[in-house]
A and B are shown apart, each in its own frame.
Chain A
């Protein structure tokens, strides 16, 4: 077995040194009738050639985004990631290291976490950011729990523009913790009256921009109303690249900002692993979940970094911790910070501009298609189209023609009566040929 260095001779020598007759003597605490005698009903070990063949066959049964005109978004986005990123995150010292509990031999990880926190704080326009969450959706759940701790209230108001999966995550954790959630109905055109929902019992208002339908939302009036009632504004995004083009949530008065960072540095991966971004105002620092990296000095006075404020965390506070979270999204957060470093603000602004330009182009083209109507007044790189037919059927027909044409709203909200709506994303990777192929195929399907 190529992964196991011990030889049979080694094993015998070692058992003798330990002073036991056989390996099962070391398993003597396992009740004898529960110790497995027969091998499990699973195949035996395989060499690399055979494993590659099996896995390759399964991979071959999926359609890869880059192999077709691709317009699928709604929370995860196909972007170009520079080759440098994947090379660097596979450096052994990054890939095979652990949580930096021994900072003297983990400065590589700690310094990039510090750089990451600085980048996320700048992007979101917030004071402090943590060293990442599992993903945007779980981060949103954590943000709501944090708002409850800060305000000592337990009612969250969710915008109808919040990604339905994110809303479901918040609903699930709230139900389990016996907290209250007021979830507004799906709001396709960003016309809901969320201000009317904010009262003196509200702990937080959760608003996504760009929202799941692609609309950009003005957070300022919501921040003002929330503040007047002692509630927090939690601003959510699923497309971090939008922050290169639109006003940051911090600038608009958000108290907590949480979002999905996958678009920068990370592949689609069929939904994970991704990287949750989480930032807040300094005054809420001690209620934040997750790891924080801070600057300090070593015994010689040299600058260095450590994990800090861990008295918030489960390994010290146990049942009084701010969260049960233990890991962050280490390597995905490294991929994010390397890609973000390559971009810089100049590169991010440029790629955001290209995303927006491409999306505007596609929206204009789709508006010309008979039976298709773009609903958004504003958007970044994603918008919603009303079709004359059930969108799920249209998407399936498009797939048959070799075009992956977006996400039917019914996939996310099966019972909302929004079956004719399609969410379409368009990034820097889409070409004029992709758009032409999409529009032509859609015209055929709708005809």
Chain B
């Protein structure tokens, strides 16, 4: 059974359990029930005295039924979540080469700073006279982002990368409308290799998406873009370095072609971490680019969020930035919260979130920037690129490279050509890496490459760590080619769980816990 990405989703054959235990536990690997199976409705882990009798003001709205949720005492809760955590793989566990996701080290200083009461315990609507330090953080972060990217403006408030894309594309839409071209410029060009968020974002606000073909060498050709340009084109959304891990060689020409045609260049900045301190998007002709603070500037991924996706803007788009934003007045930062309050020359397109964005992430990212400095950030980019190319050099004789003609930037892309005839799929290979103690690389993305394996080691790995990783993948690759299929098709064998049945999950969705029926009722 394959899912829409062409991935097998049904489990492989079952390996016999060699030494069963009474509990089903395996030493540190404990089977942990759901809180609904261990807690009680009368239990609570929070002590709070009942208030003195008073006359309620809830009117007819008072809750009369029970909510139906159990509580746990503190020791029970602690054990439950610690056991759950032990079923997770994190950056601190081992090499996490998830391409496009930038799983670099998360410094704990950043966590400590974000928890200073002066940052964490401040309300977004308390008087502005009591938050001068918070505004200073926003201003300082903005200054760093503008200096690094060579762009004149930034909107900090997007909550994540895709939200940043939305913000940037809304600014483009507003700029087009201001020129009176809102009815004609409806098309957004998106290369086939793009992140799925790009076409989804463009479509969300009414653009028509047209695909730009990928060249055989994994890059976008300026001629292919030009062939699609016309008075109906609003913008191109191009990732750079692109999702194949290649710096687009014709990016400057593509930007110029867009501008000449009266259109805009949105750059997906998911891979900006490869070029910090090496090249400025502003020098490349970019009009808008989101920056994933959770990738490039190491705010923790946290199991899928929260992210933060500030968008840097060119001179042409700067006036349309949404509220809120920081405006410098006599060198002092002032927070502009409403459109009515916007200084002359600004025409904010609206508001994309309540309050002022992900302050907790601003603090962490700024701490990262101060720690690294201009020299450390440049070195981090260089080391990330060096590490990716080192892995590529160590594996390219065994695993196939779809685009050997370009150096890789921060991630090395392999395809599954080398697995042909082995009976082992990219997914099998990834699952076998789990048994070896590694998180798999990104698989089956980008879509333009068959059976893609996208390896991004980041700058956080030592040479010894990379050497062991390369040796492990070489061993696995030889095994795959040597018809040692059992190591792959049944993998993982040693993870907390074996391969999961995704098809079943989607066919009969069970999305919450439901109390089992009492035995008598169930029998009816």
Contact = CB atoms under 8 A, between A and B. Distances in A.
B495 A135 contact: no
Contact of B57 (A35, A76, A346, A360): A360
A341 B497 contact: no
Nearest to A40: B374
Interface stretch (A194-202, A226-234, A298-306, A437-445): A298-306
**For A58, A246, A414, which residue has the most chain B Cβ atoms within 10 angstroms?**
A58
A331 B495 CA distance: 23
Nearest to A67: B117
A246 B120 contact: no
Taking residues whose C-beta sits less than 8 angstroms from the other chain, chain A's interface range is 35 or more
B452 interface: no
A384 interface: no
Nearest to A176: B205
A108 B85 contact: yes
Interface string A277-314: 00000000100000111111111101011101111011
A411 B118 CA distance: 22
Given A18-B389, A26-B386, A75 B354 contact: yes
A163 interface: yes
Contacts of A299: 11-14, 490, 498-501
Contacts of A404: 123, 126-127, 130
A130 to B, nearest CB: 8
Interface stretch (B226-234, B257-265, B377-385, B417-425): B377-385
Contacts of A342: 44-46, 71-72, 74, 77
A19 B393 contact: yes
12 contacts: A40-B147, A58-B118, A91-B85, A114-B511, A114-B512, A117-B511, A273-B305, A294-B509, A296-B510, A315-B196, A404-B123, A414-B338
A13 interface: yes
Contacts of A52: 109, 112-113
B410 to A, nearest CB: 10
A380 interface: yes
A177 B205 contact: yes
B43 A326 contact: no
A347 B44 contact: yes
Nearest to B462: A5
A66 B371 contact: no
Interface in A125-184: 128-129, 131-132, 134-138, 145, 163, 165-166, 168-169, 171-173, 175-178
B376 A61 contact: no
Taking residues whose C-beta sits less than 8 angstroms from the other chain, chain B's interface range is 35 or more
Given A172-B352, A399-B130, A247 B63 contact: yes
**For B112, B113, B133, which residue has the most chain A Cβ atoms within 10 angstroms?**
B133
Interface in B106-161: 106-107, 109, 111-127, 129-134, 136-137, 140, 144, 147-148, 159-161
Nearest to A335: B302
B61 interface: yes
A316 B196 contact: yes
Contacts of A58: 118, 133-134, 136-137, 140
- Lowest 10 A-B CB distances belong to which pairs? A344-B71, A59-B118, A271-B355, A172-B350, A331-B302, A61-B133, A271-B124, A347-B44, A357-B51, A299-B11
Nearest to B440: A102
A272 interface: yes
B461 A5 contact: yes
Contacts of B50: 350, 353-354
Contacts of A291: 304
Contacts of B462: 5-6, 10
Nearest to A352: B63
A302 B25 CA distance: 12
Interface stretch (B86-94, B477-485, B516-524): B86-94
Given A75-B125, A76-B355, A177-B206, A216 B509 contact: no
Given A4-B459, A293-B511, A357-B52, A102 B89 contact: yes
Interface string A43-73: 1111010111011111111111111001010
A42 interface: yes
A350 B370 contact: no
A3 B497 contact: no
A97 to B, nearest CB: 4
B213 interface: no
A306 B504 CA distance: 10
Given A330-B305, A341-B80, A31 B252 contact: yes
A341 B88 contact: no
Nearest to A315: B196
**For B41, B101, B300, which residue has the most chain A Cβ atoms within 10 angstroms?**
B300
Interface string A22-35: 01011111110011
A175 B350 contact: yes
A166 B352 CA distance: 9
A59 B387 CA distance: 36
Contact of A64 (B65, B70, B117, B249): B117
Contacts of A74: 125
Nearest to B361: A273
A247 B64 contact: yes
Nearest to A285: B509
A330 B306 contact: yes
B370 A358 contact: no
Contacts of A244: 63, 67
A293 B11 CA distance: 18
A412 B55 CA distance: 31
**For A51, A76, A357, which residue has the most chain B Cβ atoms within 10 angstroms?**
A51
Given A55-B113, A176-B205, A273 B85 contact: no
B68 A327 contact: no
B57 A165 contact: no
Given A96-B90, A361-B54, A380-B58, A23 B385 contact: yes
B337 interface: yes
A423 to B, nearest CB: 9
Contacts of B125: 72, 74-76, 407, 411-412
A36 interface: yes
Contacts of B201: 324
A115 B37 CA distance: 11
A29 B246 contact: yes
**For B204, B358, B386, B394, which residue has the most chain A Cβ atoms within 10 angstroms?**
B204
B72 A29 contact: no
A20 B17 CA distance: 49
Contacts of A313: 196
A103 interface: yes
Given A117-B512, A271-B355, 18 more contacts: A4-B380, A84-B77, A95-B300, A96-B93, A105-B434, A107-B497, A131-B304, A173-B205, A176-B205, A267-B121, A298-B500, A329-B306, A331-B305, A338-B81, A342-B72, A342-B77, A343-B71, A360-B56
B197 interface: yes
B126 A309 contact: no
A368 interface: no
A96 B197 contact: no
B163 A138 contact: yes
A41 interface: yes
Contacts of B68: 122, 345
B511 A294 contact: yes
B270 to A, nearest CB: 10
B347 to A, nearest CB: 13
A123 B48 contact: no
Given A3-B372, A62-B119, A138-B159, A245 B63 contact: yes
Contacts of B178: none
Nearest to B463: A10
Contacts of B413: none
